Structure 1
């Protein structure tokens, strides 16, 4: 049986799932391929990848997608920026800020608040460089902020905006045995688990009643009176 090509967008870390794959399917190599977020869906549609870990939403035409987990949205700022005084940022805090939005790796729904710089950098790494130069601020999933960490930058959680959702996607009509194995791995199924319907939990058994031993008190017998 041939190997399996699994793509993943920047910030997503499939290492744990890769190790589980190697333990369960040691004879089938799993090739991990990092791909740009904008290209990920089409690479799967063209069968250049067997499956891909990407961020929703996407155009699901011809694709399956199962959500896996949600990422916190953050705003990347220089360390000496005024908003770093707060533990978390609201959209109102960014109303007067210049905001960057990269063409790659950042979702279209994440159009940030504030004054958007229309000349979009090609990659998140380029946008991070512009933040460091003081050109503007950048809204990204937290995993991307960590991936592009710099000593002169920091980030704060941003409330009032959607969170990004990481999902596993693969072509419609291609849910074969290997895809089923991968779905089981990313969903945390054990080796012996099946895809059948979940077995309903048995109703909790009522605790056994405690047997209370009744102690019958004997009425003390009167001693016979002595005759005088």
Structure 2
């Protein structure tokens, strides 16, 4: 009976390990770099890696151009530079999925700023400067993207949505973002940097942030400028 029980335990652990190891888009038995080892041992990262490979393959088939390859190369470089920093690696996956996914929210299941910040809220309040790092701040104002300085009507948000934060942070979208519109001035938020675009110089825009509203519990990923590199 004991031998049977031991077999069941070993067999079950083997299945669990295989599930995680096989989830990644590369051979985990040959994973040599620190970032790949972290992905292979983490079910959430492995799921995101699978999703990235599926969407990259679909996009490459639909639009076989150099831009897709360039995005993938930037992502792999970002992930490699993270080493064994899980928050940084998660940020790299969130950024590339946001960049290549038609739906910017469908990969966000179970993802919030706490996924990067951990169980303890960060003490920092300044805008994060490194991918995977977070800060606490609050909503200053939510407004239409084309803000004319006057009182906004609901229809004005159809041109896009902008949000300002108390730490001088800013995010903007060309779409009507209901999660932002539901946010109110003074709402506490956790802001995490998920990408610094490799194609942008340090003094330009090109940063992508994951923000979670502490009052509504909603999360979103948006850039800090209307155009790439702040143009």
TM range (shorter): under 0.3
Structure that is richer in strand per residue: 1
TM-score, with length taken from structure 2: 0.24
Q: Indicate the structure (1 or 2) with the bigger Cα radius of gyration.
A: 1
Higher RCO (CA < 8 A, seq sep 6+): 1
TM-score, with length taken from structure 1: 0.24
Structure that is richer in helix per residue: 2
